[in-house]
Structure 1
Amino acid sequence: MHSVNNFARRLFSPLLTPLEGGDQAYTYTPRARLILWVVGLLFLGLGTALAVFIPRGIDVAVYVPIGVFCLVGLFAIVVAWLGTERAVAKVWGNRR
């Protein structure tokens, strides 16, 4: 399991590196990671549900918000799963 996390951290390092960098003070609570998980799952679920229940023949522009919802959900899940405390705090903007 540890090697899976290492591989995933290397895979998502372009996303995680900017969030984990810096030396400014931050405030982190474990609840922030849990909320990030919940928000990520909600956004991913909403995007998936929209994609599944979309009627046939609808305008292609409808896929833009679906893609945005899914990408935001994936971003939140990746940061909640692999991000350090600093990365989670930066997502929420919790700095002293």
Structure 2
Amino acid sequence: MPTPRTYARKLFAPLLDRLEGGDQPYRYTPKARLILWVTGLLFLALATGLAVLLPEGTDPAVLLPIGIFGLVGLFAIIVAWLGTERAVARVWGSR
């Protein structure tokens, strides 16, 4: 029986395939995944906090950084949760 993680990997396959491809050597440490989780959560918290505390009548251009912070946070959490060791190492630039 497929797990929810299997379905999530299929859903995010276009993103993960680009990070997991290749046969170059890489250097992975388990702390890299933990740091990616923490970074992702911090970016999502920042985006959520900015969106919630945004005063009424603010210029709509402020939504751009909120969206960018949110997307970076989601990207980090998706890779930390579903990515292989190679994908996590690639996020940190270890090749």
TM norm structure 1: 0.96
Which whole-Å CA distance do the structure 1 matches of 2:85 and 2:2 have between them?
A: 18
2:12 match: 12
Question: Could you list the per-position Cα deviations for residues 11-45 of structure 1 after superposition, in whole angstroms to 9, with x for gaps in the alignment?
Answer: 00011000000000000000000000000000000
Gaps of at least 5 residues in structure 2 are none
Corresponding pairs, count = 95
1:39-54 equivalences in 2 (<5 Å): 39-54=39-54
Runs of 4+ in 1 over 2 A off after TM superposition: none
2:74 equivalent to 1:85: no
Tell me the alpha carbon deviations over residues 46-94 of structure 1, each in whole angstroms, 9 at most, x when there is no partner: 0000000000000100000000000000000000000000000000001
**How far apart, in 1, do the equivalents of 2:25 and 2:37 lie?**
23
Give me the CA root mean square deviation: 1.1
> How much has 1:2 moved relative to structure 2?
5.6
Q: Using the alignment, how far apart are the partners of 2:25 and 2:16 within structure 1?
A: 18
SS of aligned partner of 1:93: coil
* Map of 1:23 onto structure 2: 23
In structure 1, distance between residues paired with 2:15 and 2:70: 16
User: Residue 49 of structure 1: SS of its match in structure 2?
Assistant: helix
Segments of structure 1 that go 5 or more residues without pairing to the other structure are none
User: Partner residue of 2:73?
Assistant: 73
Identical-residue share of aligned pairs (%): 69
**1:63 pairs with 2:69:** no
Normalised TM-score (structure 2): 0.97
